[in-house]
Amino acid sequence: MNDARPQTPEAPSPRFQRLPELGGLSLAWRRIDAAAAGNDRPGIVWLGGFKSDMLSAKAERIAQWAHTNGRAFLRFDYSGHGESEGEFAQGTIGQWSAQSLAMIRKLTKGPQILVGSSMGGWISLLVARELAARNEAERLAGLVLIAPAVDFTEELMWHQLPEAARQEIETKGFWMRPTQYAPEPYPVTRALIEDGRKHLLFGSVIRAYCPVHILQGMQDPDVPWSHALKLVEHLAGDPVALTLVKDGDHRLSREEDIERLLRAISEIA
């Protein structure tokens, strides 16, 4: 699900962070440090989507905006994504959310705004839950979630698959799912589905412990806008704003969509 890639103010080559506590894989990352104008403002962390990477159009534009406004900005690739080590087919929600928490704790300081796109929206909420469990809820200044695919492995994937695909996942351990975002299908593994069930959020109150702004396209073929409404209902204990974009798709990568995203970030803090 890669987008066009404009120029970025950062160095072209990523740096790498090895996570020995999480299997020893090295994750690729890029960071803009805060300048004087942004020293008293929260940093920003990009959490990308399923099979996306940190060089997507939205992440690149946030990097440009952060550089212009002196804001700290961290982005990285999950294992098996982009420039990081690991095999995509071996990844799970639990692994990617644990990696995200580790990278945030190792590579950022002070309050952060998590910008989670699609799967990154689910991961953002899992990170928020874990930080609160560690008495570190103050590390989050807010969440901006773009088409948040909460519980997608179960609600938007498993429940929607034809019976033949489910049987193939159960018997072979994977099924190759066609996608409109790439010429080749990608594997949906039994491990991804089974691990996803350990991290489901719907069914009880969801807490972010900070303000949340959700941006959702109403023409999204992957995450229906009713899914965003369901998330709002479950975030009963937090201040939540929901922006529905009537003609918006899943990516929300048009110029007007990205301007809306940047406003949402700046309005949080």
The residues annotated with a catalytic role in the active site are 118, 220, 250
* H and E: helices and strands count for the chain: 8, 10
Q: Which secondary-structure segment (H or E) carries 27?
A: strand 26-32
Burial class (CB in 10 A: 0-12, 13-18, 19+), 202: middle
Of 86, 159, 146, whose CA–CA distance to 119 is shortest? 146
User: Angle CA(87)–CA(119)–CA(245) in degrees, nearest 5?
Assistant: 145
Residue tagged 């990516």 (tokens): 251
Question: 185, 178 in Cβ contact below 8 A?
Answer: yes
- Whole-angstrom distance, CA of residue 118 vs CA of residue 50: 7
- Whole-angstrom distance, CA of residue 35 vs CA of residue 267: 19
Q: Which secondary-structure segment (H or E) carries 189?
A: strand 186-189
Q: What is the DSSP letter of 153?
A: I
Helix, strand, coil shares, percent, the chain, to 5: 40, 20, 40
Question: Across the strands, what pairs with 23?
Answer: none
Supply 153's token pair: 């492995």
